[in-house]
Structure 1
Amino acid sequence: MLDPFLPPIPWLKALVQPVCDALSLHTLPLHIHEILYACALYHFIFAYLAPPLSSLLLPNSYTKLSYKSKLRWNMHCASMVQSVAISILAPLIMMIDKERKSMNLEERMWGYTGAAGLVQALATGWFLFDLIVMIRYLDVFGLGMLAHASSCLLTYTLGFRPIFNYYGCVFMLYELSTPFLNIHWFFDKLSMTGTKAQLYDGLTLLVVFFSCRLVWGAYSSFNIYRDVWNALNLSNSAKFETNSELMRFGNDRSLPVWLVVLYMGGHVILQVLNVFWFGKMIAAVRKRFVKVDKKA
């Protein structure tokens, strides 16, 4: 399936082409404009839209927040837009991109479709913005969030070789839990801690987070590890009937050790962080509602 977004900007594509060729990121020139558009959009929401709009609509809540809480509020606003958009787009592409759905082992490893590339580009734009914010406000967001942003940006950027283009949409389903996380955080800042609305959201958050990040994440990680293992042990005589259009960027069908270590290492970090965050979420929900029960 072709990329349904705007076509590449010729001068921008020509500008980054030499660097991308040197780094073997062969499909990146086709999507660099989408990455920059996404990064600029999230920065606009974070820095220029969320602050005045929140002050206007919620003057009694937003204006009383501390400096650090305002930064977190603005970040959650940008995250809400990103997570809702990608949670709609990624499953949609997985359903309607017939070429992607029919990929065999080689195509899942080195194949490419423009539609899956769009999802990958929008995710890369978010993680680029996320990394910039995490570095700039490291004292506010901490090393854990910096590690998360770095790992995700590295993983999705490497995908433009192309490699694992098939899995870009798969791992974006992690974001299905993020809207509920944002809502839960907003409830705290709107003096709605311990309300039934927050309880229902908190329970939904735990169920969705466990399902999409731990269960689906573990299942998808197993699949990608299996594909990597099979590709590494693929004999030269083994032949697949590959779609030439899907494999038009797949001339270099190699798996260097550094690439496997970086990509797989990034996934391990993300899975460890997911388990850690799930434990923190359970503790946070229990802390809020155990107090309510005692008062009752």
Structure 2
Amino acid sequence: MHDPYFPPLPALQRLVTPLCNALHLYTLPLHIHEILSVFVIYHVIFEYVAPPLSGYFLTKQYTGLSRESKLRWNMHCVSMVQSVTICVLALWVTAVDEERRTMNHEERMWGYTGAAGMVQALATGYFLFDLAVMVRYLDVFGVGMLTHASSCLVTYTLGFRPVFNYYGCVFMLYELSTPFLNFHWFFDKLNMTGSKAQLYNGIALITVFFSCRLVWGAYSSFNIYRDTWNALYFDPYTTKLSTNTDMMRFGSDHALPAWLLIIYMGGHITLQLLNVFWLGKMIAAIRKRFTPEAKAAKANGVTSNGAISKKKQLNGRATSNGVAKKLS
């Protein structure tokens, strides 16, 4: 299936082709415009759309946030747009790309379709934007988030060799749980901690996270391990070869260097372990918001981070030394 996105500018494609060929990223020139355009779109949302819209529609809540919380709020807005968009496109390509659906193990490893490449490019553009924000605001997001952005960007960029082009849509479905995670964070900042909306969203978050990251993720990881094993012991004389020359025009050399396997396989194992860890942390965090202590704290005007709500502060009595509590 061809890439449904608009084609790259010929001048831009010619400009990046020599470097891409030198790095063995042969399909990257076909999608460089998608990466750059998505990078610009998400930057515009982060800098020029999320702040004024949030300040207009949620004046008290947004303007009362600290600098760090505002940056995180803006980032969650971008994450919401990205996760919904990429999941819809990944599901759509999975459903309608007939070439991708009928791939054999050789084509799943080294084959290429334009539609799957588009999904990969849009994800790469987001991770490029994510990395830029993590570097710019390292003091806010920390080294851990910087490492995550870097590793994701490297992994998806290497897919333009092409290798594992088939699996780009597969693992993008991890993002199905991200909108629920964003809503959970927004509820805290909107003083809705412990509300029924947060409870229902929390149940959906845990259910979708477990289903798409642990169950679907483990199944997909097994498939990619199996295809990799078959590729390592690939025998062109006994294995059915691909007859789709257009799909295999970039991966006919069947290159699979050891360092590439280490990055991909090691990354999948690490991510699966992290998913189990994150699920436990999410369950604990959601339970904490619905304990009797949390409900009592909310009734007394204490938010999830221990701060006194502005309303309670304004209505509260003076402290023992006669000085009113300072607004957070």
TM-score band w.r.t. shorter chain: over 0.9
Aligned-partner Cα distance in 2 for 1:33–1:188: 37
Name the structure 2 match of 1:282.
283
Aligned-partner Cα distance in 1 for 2:289–2:277: 19
Name the structure 1 match of 2:203.
203
Name the structure 2 match of 1:267.
268
Report the CA distance between 1:120 and its aligned residue.
0.3
Name the structure 2 match of 1:81.
81
Contact 2:106–2:241 at 8 Å: present in 1 too? no
Q: How does 1:62-141 map to 2 (within 5 A)?
A: 62-141=62-141
Aligned-partner Cα distance in 2 for 1:176–1:151: 20
Contact 1:151–1:269 at 8 Å: present in 2 too? no
Report the CA distance between 1:202 and its aligned residue.
0.5
Q: Which amino acid aligns with 1:253?
A: H
Q: Which amino acid aligns with 2:173?
A: L
Aligned-partner Cα distance in 1 for 2:28–2:270: 24
Name the structure 1 match of 2:192.
192
Question: Deviations along 1:181-215, whole A, 9 cap, x unmatched?
Answer: 11111010001000000000011000001110111
Deviates more, 1:242-251 or 1:194-203: 242-251
Aligned-partner Cα distance in 2 for 1:249–1:5: 20
Aligned-partner Cα distance in 1 for 2:70–2:215: 33
The structure-2 alpha-carbon separation of the partners of 1:120 and 1:9, relative to structure 1 and needing over 3 Å to count, comes to same
Structure 2 unaligned residues grouped into runs of 5+ = 300-328
TM-score scaled by length of structure 2: 0.87
Structure 1 unaligned residues grouped into runs of 5+ = none
Runs of 4+ in 1 over 3 A off after TM superposition: 291-296
Aligned-partner Cα distance in 2 for 1:38–1:281: 30
Q: How does 1:1-296 map to 2 (within 5 A)?
A: 1-242=1-242, 243-291=244-292, 295=296
Aligned-partner Cα distance in 2 for 1:94–1:195: 37
Structure whose residues are more often helix by fraction: 1
The structure-2 alpha-carbon separation of the partners of 1:181 and 1:10, relative to structure 1 and needing over 3 Å to count, comes to same
Report the CA distance between 1:140 and its aligned residue.
1.6
Aligned-partner Cα distance in 2 for 1:96–1:236: 30
Name the structure 1 match of 2:318.
none
Report the CA distance between 1:72 and its aligned residue.
0.3
Report the CA distance between 1:271 and its aligned residue.
2.1
Contact 2:55–2:62 at 8 Å: present in 1 too? yes
Contact 2:217–2:272 at 8 Å: present in 1 too? yes
Question: Deviations along 1:244-273, whole A, 9 cap, x unmatched?
Answer: 111111122021101111122222332233
Report the CA distance between 1:236 and its aligned residue.
4.1
Instruction: Provide the secondary structure at the position in 1 that maps to 2:31.
Output: helix
Q: Which has the larger radius of gyration?
A: 2
Contact 1:3–1:113 at 8 Å: present in 2 too? yes
Contact 1:34–1:122 at 8 Å: present in 2 too? yes
Contact 1:112–1:166 at 8 Å: present in 2 too? yes
Aligned-partner Cα distance in 2 for 1:276–1:146: 19
Cα RMSD over matched residues? 1.4
Question: Deviations along 1:225-252, whole A, 9 cap, x unmatched?
Answer: 1111110011242342411111111122
Contact 1:177–1:205 at 8 Å: present in 2 too? yes
Q: Whose RCO is larger (CA < 8 A, sep 6+)?
A: 1
Contact 2:8–2:33 at 8 Å: present in 1 too? yes
Aligned-partner Cα distance in 1 for 2:29–2:35: 10
Q: Which amino acid aligns with 2:131?
A: L
Deviates more, 1:49-58 or 1:239-248: 239-248
TM-score scaled by length of structure 1: 0.97
Contact 2:20–2:28 at 8 Å: present in 1 too? yes
